[in-house]
């Protein structure tokens, strides 16, 4: 029987959602065009070629190296793209994803990415076209809700701030807001105004968010209610403390 | 009353002689300017309001840092609201409110106003929320004979022009 990777323990909906995010078993909920994505990321003008930081690898005379021969470079590295970032903020009020899960997702499913995890935000650095793939995938799928998750490159806050009356995560720089039924973004990640309004789609309902979230909360699915997850987290912590992750030491003693 | 720090200095703290009630209201959502205007308007309509302090996330005019530094923000929550006929510029969103009132009846009246105004849950506390004694910063800002009602009305780094004086119209009692 072929081995199937098991990414996260637990029997609750939160644990199942975490497994879905990490294993890239994601439902696509909305579409965002490449031009709109480029605009809200704000690293280059929509339609502009990818600026490069070095010539394409094929034109460079690389030293003989078995590792370079073994590892196929990512499209961005092959073309010599600049390294650029995408940064997500997820509200603690049942946002679909959380920074740790986003980092696992990026590291497991993409090559050449450098995920950075913080308490309320998560950044991925990669070659520009590789980073755009990661960003687009997250924005278009159930990993993101336009009202509870947001792209924020500067003044990155909102995770632990109370929601606005309309249920949208607060942003002091007003990058995105609810207009009618949908959330629109008319500024890029760092709050520079755009010449367009990018439609990020309809926000999810409270029930939908509670169903899709990967955040354990006492007012939704509490961590302590997931006996399997608690058992495995305790096991990892215990073994890390006792043996520093050296399997076999326990038996030898 | 002698210095509460017991440092041996001879400074004297003025006693207010007033028995007031201080309350804190924490709504579960950040309020819209319209709701803020309605809430503050109804609170100021009550008798026995001494002072009100608003807390919340800052609403800047321009982007403070990053590549977009200096760009205008134009936040929809940053509006001028009308409180008792006075135009008040919202520098922060209304996320928390502290009110000093004269008695428990007024505090209960404010609680009722909150229940009627908010369409979401809120927390309501009674306690001590305003400073009782002048600090060095207060002394530097306001001097030795400052009105004690000004104490604790701004951030330590805030300026006194953040305080807005709302004058209540005298009711005709004659």
DSSP for B56-115, please give it: --B--SB--SSTTTT-B---TT--EEEETTEEEE-SB-B-EEEEEESSHHHHHHHHHHHH
Does the pLDDT of residue B3 top 60, yes or no? Answer: no
pLDDT at B173: 42
Q: Please list every residue in chain B whose beta carbon sits closer than 8 Å to the beta carbon of residue A177.
A: 76
Interface contact flag, B32 A165, Cβ < 8 Å:
yes
Sign for the CA dihedral angle at A218, A224, A225, A228 comes to positive
B30 forms bridges with which residues in the sheet?
A164
Residue A250 pLDDT: 59
- B76 vs A155, A174, A190: nearest CB: A174
ipTM of the complex: 0.86
Radius of gyration of chain B (CA): 18
Using an 8 Å CB-CB cutoff, list chain B residues near A163: 29-30
Q: Compute the average pLDDT of residues A179-195.
A: 95
The angle that helices A99-109 and A13-22 make with each other, rounded to 10 degrees, is 40
What is the fold of A13-215?
Lambda Exonuclease; Chain A (3.90.320)
In this predicted structure, the answer to whether residue A122 has a pLDDT above a threshold of 90 is yes
Higher pLDDT, B171 or A199: A199
Q: Is the pLDDT of residue A56 over 90?
A: yes
Is the CB of residue B70 less than 8 Å away from at least one CB of chain A?
A: no
Q: Do B66 and A174 lie within an 8 Å CB cutoff? A: no
How is chain A split into domains, by residue range? 13-215, 222-253
**pLDDT score recorded for residue B169:** 64
List the structure tokens of A55: 């010539």
- The answer to whether A46 and A52 have CB atoms below 8 angstroms apart is no
Chain B residues whose CB is inside 8 A of the A162 CB are 27-30, 95
What pLDDT does A27 receive?
96
pLDDT in tens, B124-168: 999 999 988 888 888 888 888 888 888 888 777 777 777 778 776
Domains and CATH numbers, chain B: 21-130 (3.30.70)
Q: Does position B11 have pLDDT exceeding 70, yes or no? A: no
pLDDT at residue B174 in the model: 39
Q: What would the two tokens of residue A8 be?
A: 């996260």
Banded pLDDT at B10 (limits 50, 70, 90): low
A24-28 long-range Cβ contacts below 8 angstroms, 24+ apart: A24/A105, A24/A108, A24/A109, A26/A137, A26/A141, A26/A142, A26/A143, A27/A141, A27/A142, A28/A140, A28/A141, A28/A142
CB within 8 A of A244, min separation 6: which ones?
A: none
- Write phi, then psi, for B35 (nearest 5 degrees): -65, -40
Output the average pLDDT for chain B.
85
Instruction: Identify the residue with better confidence: B9 or B143.
Output: B143
Q: Give me the percent of chain B exceeding a pLDDT of 70.
A: 86
The secondary structure of A6-50, three-state, reads: CCCCCCCHHHHHHHHHHCCCCCECCCCCHHHHHHHHCCCCCCCCC
Which of A40, A169, A173, A187 is most worth mutating to test chain B (most B CB atoms within 10 A of its CB)?
Answer: A173
pLDDT bucket at B104, cuts 50 / 70 / 90: very high
DSSP conformation class of B169: P
Flag if A173 and B73 touch (Cβ within 8 Å).
Answer: yes
| pTM, full prediction | 0.87
Q: With an 8 Å Cβ cutoff, is B85 touching chain A?
A: no
Q: Say how many CB pairs under 8 Å bridge A and B.
A: 66
| Cβ contacts of A190 on chain B, cutoff 8 Å | 63, 66-68
pLDDT at B21: 95
Q: B30–A191: do the CB atoms touch at under 8 Å? A: no
What share of chain B has pLDDT > 90, as a percent?
58
pLDDT at B171: 56
Nearest C-alpha neighbor of A15 from the set A218, A241, A215: A215
């Amino acid at each position: 029987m072929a081995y199937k990777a098991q990414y996260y323990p637990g029997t609750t909906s939160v644990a199942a959602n975490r497994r879905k995010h990490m294993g890239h078993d994601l439902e696509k909920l909305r579409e965002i065009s490449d031009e709109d994505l480029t605009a809200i990321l704000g690293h280059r003008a929509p339609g502009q070629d990818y600026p490069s930081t070095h010539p394409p690898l094929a034109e460079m005379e690389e030293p003989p190296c078995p590792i370079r021969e073994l590892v196929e470079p990512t499209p961005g590295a092959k073309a010599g793209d600049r390294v650029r970032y995408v940064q997500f903020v997820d509200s603690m009020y049942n946002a679909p994803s959380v920074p740790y899960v986003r980092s696992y997702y990026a590291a497991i499913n993409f090559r050449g990415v450098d995920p950075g995890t913080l308490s309320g935000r998560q950044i991925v650095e990669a070659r520009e076209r590789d980073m755009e793939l990661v960003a687009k995938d997250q924005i278009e799928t159930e990993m993101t809700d336009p009202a509870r998750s947001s792209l924020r490159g500067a003044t990155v806050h909102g995770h632990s701030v109370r929601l606005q009356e309309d249920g949208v995560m607060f942003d002091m720089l007003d990058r995105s807001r609810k207009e009618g039924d949908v959330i629109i973004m008319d500024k890029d990640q760092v709050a520079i105004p755009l010449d367009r309004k990018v439609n990020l789609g309809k926000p999810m309902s409270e029930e939908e968010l509670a169903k899709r979230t990967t955040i354990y909360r006492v007012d939704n699915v509490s961590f302590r209610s997931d006996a399997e997850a608690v058992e495995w987290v305790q096991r990892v912590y215990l073994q890390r403390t006792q043996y520093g992750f050296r399997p076999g030491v326990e038996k030898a003693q | 009353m002698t210095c509460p720090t017991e440092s041996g200095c001879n400074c004297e703290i003025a006693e207010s002689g007033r028995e007031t009630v201080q309350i804190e209201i924490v709504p579960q959502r950040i309020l819209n300017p319209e709701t803020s205007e309605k809430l503050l308007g109804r609170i100021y309509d009550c008798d026995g309001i001494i002072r009100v302090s608003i807390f919340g996330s800052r609403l800047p005019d321009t982007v403070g840092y990053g590549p977009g530094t200096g760009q205008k923000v134009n936040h929809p929550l940053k509006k001028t609201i009308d409180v008792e006929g006075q135009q008040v510029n919202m520098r922060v969103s209304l996320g928390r409110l502290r009110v000093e009132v004269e008695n428990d009846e007024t505090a209960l009246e404010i609680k009722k106003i909150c229940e009627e105004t908010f369409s979401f849950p809120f927390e309501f506390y009674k306690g001590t929320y305003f400073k009782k004694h002048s600090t060095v910063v207060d002394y530097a800002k306001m001097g030795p004979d400052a009105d004690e009602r000004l104490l604790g009305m701004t951030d330590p780094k805030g300026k006194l022009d953040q305080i807005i004086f709302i004058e209540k119209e005298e009711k005709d009692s004659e």
